[in-house]
Amino acid sequence: MAMREIRTIPDPVLRTPCEEITVIDDRVRSLVDDLLETVDHDGRAGLAANQIGVNLRAFSWNIDDEIGYVLNPRIVDLSEDEYQDGEEGCLSVPGLWYPTHRAWYARVEGTDLDGRKVVVEGTELMARCLQHETDHLDGMLYLDRLEKSVRKKAMRELRSQL
């Protein structure tokens, strides 16, 4: 296990959709170990593989003292009538927090290292995490989800930091 460096914007790996994991080998097992080690720190709710430079569909979470991972996650259900608009940040966009519209409930399905089906679901912070990390695996950042005027402000602030 290793604590991995977090890739930050404008690293192109953050904008590249991740590949499905088709074979669970030592490389994938090591990736999961690294994801779990790297997310296990205060202030870290989730971590996608591309945030540590690996272009595979996997992420870990650290919510309410529960740490876990999922391979090849897909969002299969989102609440359609309940939303949340809380502040959201990202390890790959350090220092920027903006109100981000997300579904109040989310359900993700994927697999574990033994190829068994995994279902992860939750509300509020867990739902936000599931949506945020799945976006990462699709090559999206939370900044892409901001309302136009807020996104313009965020991009201005981001450019001033680069």
| Residue 41 marked in a binding site | no
What pLDDT was estimated at residue 4?
83
20 is catalytic: no
101 marked as binding residue:
no
- The predicted pLDDT at position 1 comes to 60
* pLDDT(122) > 80: yes
The reply, when asked if residue 129 is annotated as ligand binding, is: no
- The percentage of residues in the chain with a pLDDT greater than 70, rounded to a whole number, is 99
47-51: long-range pairs with CB below 8 Å, 24+: 47/6, 47/91, 47/133, 48/18, 48/133, 48/136, 48/137, 49/18, 49/137, 50/7, 50/13, 50/14, 50/16, 50/18, 50/136, 50/137, 50/139, 51/6, 51/7, 51/14, 51/91, 51/92, 51/136
pLDDT tens profile 95-116: 999 999 999 999 999 999 999 9
When the candidates are 3.40.718.10, 3.90.45.10, 3.20.20.70, 1.10.1040.10, the CATH number that belongs to 12-161 is 3.90.45.10
The domain spans of the chain are 12-161
Mean pLDDT of the chain: 95
pLDDT for 2 equals: 74
Query: Pick the catalytic residue: 66, 133, 147, 157?
Result: 133
